[in-house]
Amino acid sequence: MKLTKLNMALATSLLGALSFSAMANDELTGLMKDDNQWAHPRKDFANTGYSAMSQINKGNVNKLKLAWTFATGVNRGHEGAPLVIGNIMYIHTAFPNNVYALDLDDDQKIVWSYFPKQDPSVQALLCCDNVNRGLGYGNGKIFLQQNDGLLVALDAKTGKKIWESMVVDTKIGASTTNAPHIIKDKVITGCSGGEYGVRCYISAYNIENGTLAWRAYSTGSDKDALIGDDFNKENPHYSALSVYQDVNGGNKEGGSFKPLPKEKLKFPVKDLGIKTWHKPQAAKNGWEQGGGPTWGWYSYDPSLNLMYYGTGNPGTWNPDVRPGDNKWSMTIFARDVDTGMAKWGYQMTPHDEWDYDGMNEIILWEHKGQKLASHFDRNGFGYTFDRTNGSLVVANKMHPFVNWASSIDLKTGIPVKDPKFSTHQDYNAKGICPSALGVKDQQPAAFSPKTGKFYVPLNHVCMTYEPIESKYIAGQPWVGATLTMFAGPDGVMGGFMAWDGINGKSIWYNKEKFSAWGGALATGSNLVFYGTLDRWFKALDADTGKELWKFRVGSGIVGNAITYGHKGNQYVGVLSGIGGWAGVAMNLGLTNETDGLGAAGGYKELTKWNAAPGGGAMNVFSL
C-alpha cells in the first residue's frame, strides 16, 4: 500500500503517542516494583497496599521507634498517603491542599512547596471534612486534585505548575477529594457531590497537556455513560430494567422490594441510566441530579487494559422520591482505559435506601490462574468477581450484624432485602446495620499475595434513618434524611479483620473501640499496619491478628499506612490528623446527635482522645 503524506503523518503521530504511553507506563510500573518506593496511592495498579519489604518483621517490630515527624501546618482530616519517589517524599494536606517535597537525603529538608489559592467557601461543599486523598505521579510530574475541582500537574523536581484543568463546577455543589491515579498516559480523576444532587462522572485527562481524553457519567444515556453494545456481554442480566417487585406499594411506608428471579428479569435494556429513575425529582428528571460520585480509589489490569472503580449514592438520601433501581449509582465499572468504554458494570445496592456508597476500592488478585477482583462495600458485603467479565464469585456478609439484606443471590447478583429495615419518607427506621458509614468506608483494605488474605479496617456502627422531604436548589445541600448512629451489637464502633476472598469468610477479627478509619498496609514479613481514631498506630501478626506493637501519635489517624526503603533501612509511616466523616463533627464543634450526618452523636467520645480540630502530621518509624 502506498503511503500518502497524510497517512505517514498519522502513522508517525500514532507511533509517537503509543511510544509516549509505553514510556510513561513503563516508568511508573518500574517504580511500583521497587519496594524502596511508594509511587502510587495504594502502592500498585492492583490497589493491594502490599510491599514485599521484610526488614521490619515479627521478631523486631516491637523495637520500632519514631524516626521523624513533619507537621503539615494544616488542621482537619488527613486522609490518603504521601508518595516516595527516589529520595523525595511528597506530602499533601487537607484543604487548602498544600504540597511539600521533602528531601530524605537531607534530614527531610523542604525542597519545594506548593500552596494552592482556593476560595475558602469551597470548604462548605465538603460534606465529610476537608479531606484530600493524596497525590499521583507519572512522567516526572506530581498531580494534585484540589478540592475546588482544579487538577494540577507540577514538575516533580521543582514544584513548578505545568498545566491545570478544571474537572467540576463548584457552583452546582460539586467538589473533588480523590487522589489522581496515573494509568498509562492518562490522569484518572473523579467527582464528589452526591449530597448536592450533582450528576457525577469519572474523567481521563492526557498526562502531557491536561486535555480531556474521555468522560463517563454515572447516570444518563448509554452514550453519556460510555456504554456500548457489548456491555455486560457475559452477564446481560446485570443490565435488567428492574431487579425488584414492589411489595405493599414499594416506595411508601410499609412497602418493600422482593427480588425477581432471573427468568423474570427483563434484559438487556438500553439507557438504564435514564429508564431506572421512574419519578422526577424537583424540576428535573431524577438521573439529572443522580449523584453517583466517584471519589474513591481506581485499579488497573494492564493485561486486560481495564480500569475498575465504584460509583456512590444516588442523589438525595430520600429513596421514595426516586423509585427504580437508580442505575448506574452504587455500581462497580470496568472500563477500557484508552476509550473509557465500559466492559461490564454491576450494581451492588439497587435503589439504595441507606447511603451505602459503592466507591470503595477494588483490589485485583489471582487464585489458581483466575483473574479476580475483590471489593468490601459500604453495604456490608464482601464481593469477589471474575474481573475479566464481572461474573460474581462471592458475595457474603463481612459481619453477621449486617441486617438490611439477608443475602445476595449469586445467580442474579440481587440483594434480598429485609423489609423491616426499608426506609421511607417521614418514617424513622430503627436498628439498621450498618449505618450510612458502611461496614467499611473509604479506608482501603490491603491484600497480601504471601498469605492470600485481605486485611480490612471496619466500622461497627448501626443507625436510625428518617428520609424527609427536601427541595433541590443547585449548589445547596440536598441530603433528604436525618440519622443517628450508635455502636453495633459487639458493643464497639470498629474492628479489623483478615478475610478469605475465595470462601467469603473472616479468618480473624479484632474489635476496636472506634472505627478503624485508616487504610491498611501489608508487608512481606506478614505484618499488617493501620491506625485508629484514638491515636494508635498498630502492627499486627497477619496470620493470627495478634497485636505486636503500637505507638500513640498526636491526633487520630484517618490516613493510609505506607512503607519505603532509604539507605538500606525500612521505614513505615502514616499521616495523622483526625477527621473524615467520623471526625468532622468533632472538628467543627457540633454536638447535636444528628449533626455531621449522625457523626456527632455516634463519635462524641472522640473528644476524650483528640484535640479539635485535628492537627496534621506525618509520622515515620524505623528500627
Give the catalytic positions in this structure. 355
Residue 163 exposed, middle or buried by CB count within 10 Å (0-12, 13-18, 19+): middle
Asked if the peptide bond before residue 96 counts as cis, ω within 30 degrees of 0, the response is yes
Q: Within 10 Å of residue 550's Cβ, how many Cβ atoms?
A: 15
Per the document, the length of the chain is: 623
DSSP state of 42: T
Sign of CA dihedral 608, 614, 615, 620: positive
**Distance of alpha carbon 365 from alpha carbon 451, whole angstroms:** 12
Sheet containing 481-487: order of strands: 429-432, 461-467, 481-487
Write the DSSP string, 420-455.
GG--BTTB-EEEESS-TT-SS-SS--EEETTTTEEE
Q: Provide the CA 557 distance to its chain's centre, in angstroms.
A: 17
Q: Which amino acid is at 530?
A: Y
User: Of 537, 521, 530, 535, whose CA–CA distance to 578 is shortest?
Assistant: 535
Sign of CA dihedral 457, 462, 464, 466: positive
Sign of CA dihedral 327, 328, 334, 339: positive
**Distance of alpha carbon 383 from alpha carbon 501, whole angstroms:** 8
- Report how far apart, in Å, the C-alpha atoms of 350 and of each of 118, 312, 420, 556 are: 37, 11, 17, 34
Write the DSSP string, 342-403.
EEEEEESSTT-SS-----S-EEEEEETTEEEEEEE-TTSEEEEEETTT--EEEEEESSTT--
Pairing of strands 88-92, 547-552: unpaired
